[in-house]
Structure formats: structure tokens, C-alpha cells
Copies of this chain bind each other. A is one copy, B any other.
Amino acid sequence: MSEEIETEQQILEAAKQIFQERGFAGARMQEIADEADINKSMLHYYFRSKDKLFQKVFQDSIRQFFPEILKVLHADLALTPKIEKLVETYYEMFRKHPHLPRFVIHEMNQHPDRFKEFVKNMGFEIPETFVKQIRQEIESDSMLNIDPREFIINTIGLCVFPLIARPMIETVFKMNNEQYQQFLEQRKKELPKFILNAVKK
């Protein structure tokens, strides 16, 4: 009985690993069972079906990064340290879960309606405080007149893209694994400057 939670957790960890790496269609229940070091029938005992297990993993995955990002956007910080914090948060998350961004992007596009319903129900929204902060910067003439939505999308996009495009980057710039990691380190420093300069008057 004390095993119950532990086993369930073990399955979820394994499923997260495999689903995030291969996507729903590419994942095999057997592979998840192997990763969790249990029998395949346990997966069904705990989660009924591949689809139900996937739903849990997908929703957990979103809960894993979305609130953290929103928290940073909402934080009581000036724009410059806030962007720095945001970039740092993204790169830290990638270090822990390298497949997470691509996984979410792929799967939300496979079932956009299901995804939208979920995000709505969870109440994930861009904090109004951040939008106000942007508007204030613009009004006080310290920032170019940019649509706050554009600004958010640009920032997130600049964080995410080099992570999901890794094989492309490694190839065209002839980097090995170490050089790529080094490139990311350099980028972590340069990116906030790039973003802030882009909206500087």
C-alpha cells in the first residue's frame, strides 16, 4: 500500500520521459513500462489506457512550466531584471526537461481544441500587471510602442527556438555537443540585451 504512490509516481516519471521524447504516437507502452522498471499491465492498472496516461503527462507537463513563466511575468521587478529572470528560468527549465518545449508544441498542434479547453479550464492567463508594465514603459517614453502581445511572443520565441532547433543549429554552425552548450551559455547573457535593445527608444 505504501508502494502505491511510489509506483504511480515512477510510472508518471517514465511516461513523461518517453512521451516528451517521442510524442504520443511515437511512444510505446512497453517502452514506458521498461523505463519505469515494471510490468506493462501496471500501466493499465494505474491509468486505464495509453490515452489517459498521456493526458495526465501532458497536463502535468504544462503545469510544470506555464505557472512558473507567468509568475516571472507577474513578479514585482523592473523590466530589465524581469527579462533576465525570464530568460534564466527558460534555460533552467530546458536543462531539467530538454524535450518539454518541443513536446508541448507538437502535441498542442495535434489536438488544438483539446489543448485550448485545458488551458482555459486551468485559468492560465497573461498577468494584467505585466501588460500594464509594458504600457507604462511605452507611455513614459522609455520603450518603443510595441503591442504587448508581440513583445511576449518575441521574448518566449527567442528563448525557445534555439532549444527546439538544436540539430539544425549544430549542423549549420558545425557545433558539437560541448560547443552547443557553450553557445547557450553565451546566449543566456546576450539575449536579454537583444530583447531590451529591440524595444529601446
Which A residues are closer than 8 A to B by beta carbons?
Answer: 22-26, 99, 102, 104-106, 108-110, 112, 115-116, 119-120, 124-126, 144, 146-147, 149-150, 153-154, 156-158, 160-162, 164-173, 183, 186-187, 190, 194-195, 197-200
Contacts and interface: CB of A to CB of B under 8 A. Distances in A.
B161 A153 contact: yes
Contacts of A144: 197
A197 B144 CA distance: 10
Contacts of A119: 168, 171-172
A144 B197 CA distance: 10
Given A25-B22, A26-B23, A172-B124, A187 B150 contact: yes
Contacts of A165: 105, 153, 156-157
Contacts of A108: 167-168
Contact of A195 (B105, B115, B168, B198): B198
